[in-house]
Structure 1
């Protein structure tokens, strides 16, 4: 079981124990609570010690049994929070970069609409193989992962087949700074910008570029993806988070739409990309 997931189970268990010990009418022992719930008392201790994953109905019943039905929603929010996947890079990359790319491929294949925001790099769905290669090599150096770069490159490039299937739509926003980021040699960046410019005319792609001078309603923070308005994915240097609770996904979409207001598309986007192309030469 993942370290992050287990820590979340243990944190929930601590909260369950607090509720048991502060029950309306006085503290309850584990066996007393189990009797109220009609459970084996071992289940109470497994939940409190993070050795068993609670179900939603377990948490609702627990809150009622301790005389705190008002705490049920808090417990359910905690459950939804740790059921969202927090995947540390150290753990994910232990087997190399290829498995991470394969996982993403499965998730993207299940989606019909993608909303993407990238502030520092070109979105993966629009990257060239050379750009992917240099990006993954940078991460491999940072995390000290095993050298499976070529397998990972092929896996990420295969993901782009999604763009050529009817009924799919990629809504991508890129900050102008990403068009100049030299995480690869200038010649590779030039080829990547050519690829990006070609994507402007694709019927499955809406590409918006936010000029550096554009006024923004929200800060251009970390990049994120929203798949079918049902799951949001974001990452930092430590981990990648997959969040599927409705309110959080809706918040990411609000951020995306706010950023979209500052973006240029079509010929204006081509002009911004053209400036970057001339700069990369």
Structure 2
């Protein structure tokens, strides 16, 4: 099943082809006029290549419809900030979503995360993940492939120990206190976080209650190298690839990370949250 992003790219390609044919040009003629290869024209029209703003400007001029540039630019902005609805993504369950994410983790070297509401997936225990997936299955009324999704998430965590990877994870203290699972499961989850501190591939920062914040602790997101941002909302994920938005999320991450505690200080915050659960 194609993603919302790919569907939008195909739709843009169909509009480009429509403009070309309205101008009475073949693909070869337009390529020659623009100084491009014919394969580039074909890939743009079939949605196999993402156009740049310069490509669209040249296309509009090449087909002698310069007024279409604004429309094409608007379509591209939608593409660059594309939304992948949960309804579409979860039609086959949570496991395919986890497999798609695994590809992005594998092709990335430096991964930055912010999460203010729950423990990030890369650090979740199997029991904690099971409760999270169960909650979202009920919310979205999606296929109940919880165990497959848990296995996929836990398997992805092997990359935490992969030489050369750099995970820079920052969480708000609220994520360590939100009981999205039974207290005993939360206790084990906090113990897991304590064990992560000290891994040479992981920098775990905790933003404690009571510290000054440069920005409100809003929605969670991941930045993959400096090429992709994935931010979650209740109805969809945003996959952002344009440089301007990636830079914005990097600045956001830096601002939030500046308030975090690391190493022994982070461990003390985790221990405080663990004690708040009582004798479990």
TM range, normalised to the smaller chain?
0.7 to 0.9
CA drift at 1:70: 10
1:136 has 2:127 as partner: no
Aligned pairs for 1:40-51 within 5 A: none
Instruction: Provide the residue aligned with 1:104 in structure 2.
Output: 101
Distance, in Å, in 1 between the alignment partners of 2:50 and 2:200 is 43
Aligned pairs for 1:70-149 within 5 A: 71=69, 75=72, 78-79=75-76, 81-82=78-79, 85-149=82-146
Task: Identify if the C-alpha distance between structure 1 residues 31 and 126 changes in structure 2 by more than 3 Å, giving closer, same or farther.
Answer: closer
CA drift at 1:148: 0.9
Instruction: Provide the residue aligned with 1:165 in structure 2.
Output: 162
SS at match of 1:59: helix
Task: Identify if the C-alpha distance between structure 1 residues 85 and 158 changes in structure 2 by more than 3 Å, giving closer, same or farther.
Answer: farther
Distance, in Å, in 2 between the alignment partners of 1:98 and 1:214 is 38
CA drift at 1:188: 0.4
CA drift at 1:227: 0.8
1:31 has 2:35 as partner: no
Instruction: Provide the residue aligned with 2:178 in structure 1.
Output: 181
Instruction: Provide the residue aligned with 2:66 in structure 1.
Output: 68
Q: TM-score, normalised by structure 2?
A: 0.81
User: Any conservation in 1 of the 2:115–2:170 contact (CA below 8 Å)?
Assistant: yes
Distance, in Å, in 2 between the alignment partners of 1:160 and 1:14 is 42
Task: Identify if the C-alpha distance between structure 1 residues 109 and 62 changes in structure 2 by more than 3 Å, giving closer, same or farther.
Answer: closer
1:252 has 2:243 as partner: no
Distance, in Å, in 2 between the alignment partners of 1:107 and 1:7 is 20
Distance, in Å, in 1 between the alignment partners of 2:196 and 2:260 is 16
Q: Please list the CA deviations of residues 150-200 of structure 1 after superposition, one character each: whole Å capped at 9, or x if unmatched.
A: 111000000110011111111000000001111100110000000011111
What's the C-alpha RMSD, in Å, of the aligned pairs? Answer: 3.3
Q: TM-score, normalised by structure 1?
A: 0.81
Distance, in Å, in 2 between the alignment partners of 1:270 and 1:90 is 38
1:267 has 2:271 as partner: no
Paired residues in the alignment total: 262
Q: Please list the CA deviations of residues 99-128 of structure 1 after superposition, one character each: whole Å capped at 9, or x if unmatched.
A: 111111121111111100001011111110
User: Any conservation in 2 of the 1:5–1:86 contact (CA below 8 Å)?
Assistant: no
Distance, in Å, in 2 between the alignment partners of 1:155 and 1:85 is 25
Task: Identify if the C-alpha distance between structure 1 residues 58 and 230 changes in structure 2 by more than 3 Å, giving closer, same or farther.
Answer: closer
